[in-house]
Amino acid sequence: MFQGAVVKISDWKARFIYDKSGAAAVEFALTAIPFLGFIFVIIQVGLYFFSQQSLDYATRLAARQIMTGYVQAKSLTADQLRSSIICPALSINISCNNITVAVNIVPKTSNSTSGTGIYAYINQSVPSLKPANLDASKGTFCTGSPGDYIFIDVAYNFSGFLDLIPIIAGPLISRDIMVLRSTAFIANEPFQSAAGSTQSGC
């Protein structure tokens, strides 16, 4: 009796070890989560670069309108520049309210030691731009006069990215927010200045 039971148990073990039915389902279950996660990361990174290119295009368009004197002639504010020029030029549906625009007149002389001129926007300890201003209430908007040098800084809060992204993209990204940023440094053309177009605080 016991010998028969031992034989049955041995047969069951052998069948269990060599049985390959359902192996594909088990293998898929083991690889599905990392595979889908990898696909999601690819989509997110692609969306990031597409959004960045879209913001770059809109910033270049806005810079052109400032350089030629269109913005000055129309006396546009930062909000009006954002809503009428930048946001319509975006090829991706992002929240226009999350875009911050800062436009500053840059002195024609710059000194790296004192941090004046264009160096006021450069982090000299690390060769990069200083962090973008993400608070629209603290930004400046001075489009300047003919011949002025202008620094344009457009930034967008891109939130909800994967925690893996900071490892890939570096210091621009925190765990819950990504900053898309586009800048332009231009010299205003000798356009015709409109009467009364001088901006307050510039």
pLDDT tens per residue across span 42-69: 888 888 888 899 999 999 999 999 999 9
pLDDT tens per residue across span 75-96: 999 999 999 999 999 988 788 8
- How many domains would you assign to the chain? 1
Does the structure show a pLDDT above 90 at 107? yes
Range of the domain at 69: 2-187
Nearest to 43 by CA among 161, 181, 174: 161
Label residue 147 by pLDDT band (50, 70, 90): very high
Tokens of 190: 């000798």
**Would 140 be classed as within a structural domain?**
yes
For position 171, what pLDDT does the model report?
52
Q: CA–CA separation, 106 vs 121, rounded Å? A: 10
**Would 106 be classed as within a structural domain?**
yes
**Would 12 be classed as within a structural domain?**
yes
**Would 199 be classed as within a structural domain?**
no
**Would 142 be classed as within a structural domain?**
yes
Q: What's the N-to-C CA distance of the chain in angstroms?
A: 101
Find the mean pLDDT for residues 134-149: 88
Can you tell me which residue has the tokens 């809503």? 83
pLDDT tens per residue across span 121-138: 998 888 889 988 888 777
Tokens of 147: 């011949």
**Would 160 be classed as within a structural domain?**
yes
For position 105, what pLDDT does the model report?
95
Whether 192 contacts 69, CB under 8 Å: yes
